Every structure is written in structure tokens, then in C-alpha cells.
Amino acid sequence: MSDLHRRNFIKGAAVLSGAAICGVATASNAKAAQTLPENFEPPAMPWGYQELDPEYVRKLGHLGYYLEECGGGSFWAIMTALKEKIGYPYNLIPLPTKEEFIDHLSGKSKGKHYQGIMQHGVGGVADYGSLCGAPNGAAAAITFAFPFADVKSIVKRLMRYYETEAFPNAKSNEYAINKEFYPPKYKSGKSLPRSPSHSVLCHVSVGKWCETSGYASGSKERSERCARVTGDVAAMAVTLLNAHLKGNIETVFPLKLSQDTVSCRVCHFKGKKFEAGQFTRGSMECSSCHNDMTPHMGENKLKTAYGTDVGTWAGAAVVGTVAGIGTHAVAGRFSKEDPHDEE
Ligand code: HEC
Ligand code: HEC
């Protein structure tokens, strides 16, 4: 079947059930499965991107959380906006419509159960407390839009946004108070306290927020906070995607790691020189977990880094003197291209 024919066929089939593509035809979508040509194959990724409205996606993300939590919610929000804007091939993905979700929350589809792609991201992957589902789900959606090298640059910025933003965003609080969010009844309609977590972990993000706000992790307010976080992260993902499309992502969101992290990454990054500290990887905020710098000052198992005594140099780095020079050099390189890029 030529591409052109396939395209027309898909359009004719309206919104296809993705379950059919996977061959898991249930009674309700068996009809769609029957009409698919036997040799049908979805197109290879990436599927492309067109500018989306971040505020619309913020509201979708909030709604998505109510049915599929943070991971499913942010994925659903971005993919739904893409499906509405671009259509094929985004309509190959199983995505209930916004109206279906709202109807369900209004009690119009009792007994119906929704399960979404990336829903496993809930509570830091199946409630395990690791990576927050909101950036996880959004990253999966971003992966559909652009070639993977671009995806990495966009997702890293989204992770950094997550570490630094005081959630929930003021816009989200405003939408809740003005009843602009889609769910017919909110878990909480209040303006909620805002706090940054300096971590991408659900465990830290929820814990710090609970500590700041005084709400328990099992409270309706905490759940509503996470619905708003889902919207905020989906909105930022789309802001970054729009910027990337226009070629100005560096202006819209320059990747600035914390001063601490940059100072650690002078030595600790994914590299080949073990003795110099290159036995780690990653760009998370180091100081959210590492405070005790005594290993650098005491008798080291590894005596030197770049020929300098690690104890003295890293000790100085911690009080921010000598490493300031190294830090500066690394920060400069960061703004162009991450020199210690992870593969
Ligand atoms: C000048 C290079 C350098 C800088 C800067 C540096 N480190 Fe290290 N670090 C090392 C080296 C080399 C080792 C290995 C020392 C050893 O095991 O004897 C090490 C070891 C460590 C260890 C492991 C300690 C252990 O018990 O095995 C941790 C954790 C660590 N660094 C964290 C950090 C953090 C966090 C920062 C930033 C605040 C930082 N380092 C900055 C070079 C550096
Ligand atoms: C979410 C918490 C967390 C963050 C954030 C974090 N680390 Fe670690 N790091 C750990 C844990 C846990 C270990 C393993 C136990 C240990 O050695 O203390 C570790 C180990 C290390 C080690 C020792 C080598 C190893 O693999 O055991 C180094 C060096 C290190 N981290 C550097 C860094 C640097 C640099 C950053 C920031 C770019 C960073 N860490 C961010 C938790 C974290």
C-alpha cells in the first residue's frame, strides 16, 4: 500500500484504536481491527511537531492526572494536543478524548476503566518514589516529536525546570481558583503553597512539599498539587518544544546547572579517567544528597586528580575558592554544548 493510500485510509478510519495496532482487539474495537490492512505498519518515529498552546496543555495535564496520574497525565496531555493538531499518525495512539475524561469524572460512564501509556510513572514509577511521573511521561511524548539528539537536549532542560520550579506554578493556582481547569469537581480548589524540590525524585518532591505545606502525602491537597505539577510540567515541555521548533531554546531556557553541581562535575562526570573522579554520571543536583565532603579531605584511596592532591583541591572546591576557576570554565562550555554528555 503506498504511503498516500495509507494516509487516506487512516483518515477514513477516523480515530483508530491503538489497541488494534497492537493486535489486542477487544470487543469494542474489533471493528477497527477488521478494517486494518493485514500488512499495516505505523510509521517510524519521530512523527514531527507543530506549535502547541502551553496553557491548553497545562489544563489537559491537570485533567489527565485525574484519570491516569502524573506519568499517564503528562503523556496524555501532550499527545492529545498533538493528535488534535496534527492527526495522523498521532491518532494511532490509544488516547481517550478530553470529553470522554470529563464525562467520566461527571459520573456519565460508570464502571468504565481508563489505563494509559506511561501511567506506570505514578508516584515515581509504580509508587516507588523515584523519578516523578510528570517529566517521565512528558519525555515519552517529546520522544515522538523530534530526532533523539534533540529530544535529549529538550528533556534535560525539562528535568532542570523540575528541580528549580516552585510547584505548583502560579498559573495553576490561578486556574484552580478561577475554576478554569476541566474536572467538574476539584480535589481542592485552593491556592496551594509552592515549593521547589531541587530534585527530580517523587520522594523528595512530595516530601519537601508536604513539609512546606503541612499537608500529608495521602491528603487531597497533595494529590491536587501533583495534578497541577503534571499540568505545569506538560506546559513547560510544550514551551520547550515550541522553542526548539523556532530554534531559540537556548534563549527560552538556557541549561544552567546549580553552582554546586557544576563544581562537582569538574571531576565527576561520565568519562574514561577513573582516578580523576570519572566513575559517576549524571547532572542531578548533587547537594540534594551529598553534603559530607570529608572523603575528599581525608586519606583518599585515589591520591590524585589531574596530578593535584584531591583532598586539598576538592576541599577547596567545597568552600568555593579554587574550584571557582574550574567551575567557570565548565559553566562556559555548558552553555554551548554539554561537554560531559551522557550516552
Ligand atoms: C577536583 C576533583 C573533584 C571535585 C571538584 C569533586 N570530587 Fe568528589 N571525588 C574526586 C575523586 C578523585 C574521588 C575519589 C577519591 C577516593 O575514592 O579516594 C572523589 C570521591 C567522591 C565521592 C565518593 C566518596 C567515597 O566514599 O568513595 C563522593 C560521594 C564525591 N566525590 C562527591 C563529590 C561531590 C558531591 C562534589 C561536589 C560538591 C565533588 N565530589 C567534587 C574528585 C573530585
Ligand atoms: C538522589 C541522591 C543523589 C544525588 C542527587 C547525587 N548522588 Fe551521588 N550518590 C548517591 C548515592 C546513594 C551514592 C552511593 C552511596 C555512597 O557512596 O554514598 C552516590 C555515590 C556517589 C559517588 C561515589 C561513587 C559511587 O558511584 O559510589 C560520587 C563520586 C557521587 N555520588 C557524585 C555525585 C555527583 C557529582 C552528583 C551531582 C552531579 C551526585 N552524586 C548526585 C546519591 C546521590
DSSP string, 292-304: --HHHHS--SS-E
Place of cell 572546591: 317
Q: Look at residue 7 in the predicted model and tell me its pLDDT.
A: 43
Cell numbers at 232, concatenated? 505545569
Q: Contact at 8 Å (CB) between 130 and 202?
A: yes
73 lines ligand 1 (CB under 6 A): no
Measured from the alpha carbon of residue 310, the closest ligand is 1
Q: Look at residue 292 in the predicted model and tell me its pLDDT.
A: 77
Band of residue 295 on the pLDDT scale cut at 50, 70, 90: low
What span, in angstroms and rounded, lies between the C-alpha atoms of 245 and 240? Answer: 9
Q: Look at residue 302 in the predicted model and tell me its pLDDT.
A: 54
Band of residue 271 on the pLDDT scale cut at 50, 70, 90: very high
Specify the ligand 2 atom closest to the Cα of 282: 38
Q: Which of 1-10, 78-87, 305-314 is predicted least confidently?
A: 1-10
175-219 per-position pLDDT tens digit: 999 999 999 999 999 999 999 999 999 999 999 999 999 999 999
Band of residue 133 on the pLDDT scale cut at 50, 70, 90: very high
- 333, pLDDT greater than 70: no
Specify the ligand 2 atom closest to the Cα of 204: 1
Radius of gyration, CA atoms only, the chain: 23
Place of cell 470529553: 99
What's the gap in Å between 290 CA and the centre of ligand 2?
A: 7
Rounded to 5°, angle at Cα 60 from 249 and 26: 115
What's the gap in Å between 309 CA and the centre of ligand 1?
A: 12
**pTM assigned to the model:** 0.85
277 lines ligand 1 (CB under 6 A): yes
What's the gap in Å between 281 CA and the centre of ligand 2?
A: 9
- 320, pLDDT greater than 80: no
What span, in angstroms and rounded, lies between the C-alpha atoms of 278 and 267? Answer: 6
- 164, pLDDT greater than 90: yes
Q: Look at residue 68 in the predicted model and tell me its pLDDT.
A: 98
What span, in angstroms and rounded, lies between the C-alpha atoms of 6 and 20? Answer: 16
Helices (H), the chain: 3-12, 18-21, 30-35, 54-86, 98-105, 133-145, 148-164, 170-177, 202-213, 220-246, 249-252, 259-264, 294-297, 310-319, 323-336
What span, in angstroms and rounded, lies between the C-alpha atoms of 225 and 217? Answer: 10
Band of residue 75 on the pLDDT scale cut at 50, 70, 90: very high
Write the residue with the smallest CA distance to atom 22 of ligand 1: 295
Measured from the alpha carbon of residue 273, the closest ligand is 1
Q: Look at residue 340 in the predicted model and tell me its pLDDT.
A: 58
Write the residue with the smallest CA distance to atom 41 of ligand 1: 264
Residue among 259, 280, 292, 338 to mutate when testing ligand 2 (max atoms within 8 A of CB):
280
Q: Look at residue 304 in the predicted model and tell me its pLDDT.
A: 46
Measured from the alpha carbon of residue 300, the closest ligand is 1
By three-state DSSP, how is residue 307 classified? coil
Q: Look at residue 299 in the predicted model and tell me its pLDDT.
A: 56
Residues 6+ apart with CB under 8 A from 113: none
What percent of the chain has a predicted confidence (pLDDT) above 90? 71
Measured from the alpha carbon of residue 130, the closest ligand is 2
Residue among 268, 287, 288, 318 to mutate when testing ligand 1 (max atoms within 8 A of CB):
268
257 lines ligand 1 (CB under 6 A): no
Q: Contact at 8 Å (CB) between 290 and 192?
A: no
Write the residue with the smallest CA distance to atom 2 of ligand 2: 289
Band of residue 336 on the pLDDT scale cut at 50, 70, 90: very low
What's the gap in Å between 296 CA and the centre of ligand 1?
A: 6
Pocket of ligand 2 (CB under 6 A): 201, 261, 264-265, 268, 279-280, 282-286, 288-290
Specify the ligand 1 atom closest to the Cα of 302: 18
Band of residue 16 on the pLDDT scale cut at 50, 70, 90: very low
